[in-house]
Amino acid sequence: MTAIINIPVADWAQQCSADVQENAVRALEEGNVLFFPQLSFLIEETEGQFLSPSLVGKSKNVSFDISTGKLRGSNAGELETRLLQNMMHRFASCSQELLFNLLPYYQANVVQSRTSFRPVEVAGRVASWRKDDTRLHVDSFPSTPVQDKRILRIFTNVNPHGQCRHWRLGESFENIANRYLPSIPSPVWGSSQLLQLCGITKSRRSVYDHIMLQLHDRMKADLDYQSSVEQIDHEFPAGSTWITFSDQVSHAVMAGQYLLEQTFYLPVNSMVNPSGAPLQILERLTGRKLT
């Protein structure tokens, strides 16, 4: 089962000791969640206006690309957009600083991806079963193949009313793979090239990406599994932060509103112990290369 590991870091720029760094990377790569109960992100007074679900209209989040400064998914006007960009840029920078201080082994090869702000309440939100994040799943992105990379995510609960972010955490990735892998068919020959050519995917979808999408979908579609698999509940309080490899940790988001999230991609061979990566677990179980 996934464990919640408390980390004594209360400042984004805090320099971490070698012991803290070693324990953090080991726990993270073993499929646990690093929890920072005292690490909060300050929403400035001028940014308080963004703590409203009306900010996104029909969308469920605002996304920000720190490399281009581009913002998507917001209903904000021109002046408000600049303030929102500043807020999300600040969170992206804080997240990178935390990552480099806590997990310096990753610094040379990790790639910072999109930043998102999620102002909509999770509980009661209508979604298709495939997009229903209240169902246990491991992350896999249909349009963004990761090939030989991991999905590392930093989350911060910025709810101004003290509401917790309620998660469920499920069984180990290897158990998930053993459960569903035997029934997953191989991808149709030529489908990877066709998907990329048609613009459905941004790059080549590897066999590994195909399997991960199938695992994501089969977990969510299996209601018996959702109710019967061994799992734990955990509430992340307002003003706290947590980090996990979301492609490995089975998770579901049951309730919560106002969250900032930063995604990073890490090559598997840049891990301290690559044998725990989903890619290597699946290659061992299938007996073949998947990228």
Specify the CATH number for the domain of residue 129. 2.60.120
pLDDT at 231 over 90: yes
Number of domains composing the chain: 1
Distance CA(135)–CA(127), nearest Å, equals 11
Distance CA(85)–CA(79), nearest Å, equals 10
Q: Classify residue 119: in a domain, yes or no.
A: yes
> pLDDT (tens digit, 9 = 90+) per residue, 38-97?
999 999 999 999 999 999 988 889 999 999 999 999 999 999 999 999 999 999 999 999
Instruction: Count CB-CB contacts under 10 A for residue 102.
Output: 22
Lowest mean pLDDT among 19-33, 54-68, 243-257, 261-275: 54-68
211 within 8 A of 279, measured Cβ to Cβ? no
For residue 92, with 0-12 CB atoms within 10 Å meaning exposed, 13-18 middle and 19 or more buried, which class applies? buried
Q: Classify residue 291: in a domain, yes or no.
A: no
Residues of the domain holding 155: 4-286
Band (1; pLDDT cuts 50, 70, 90): confident
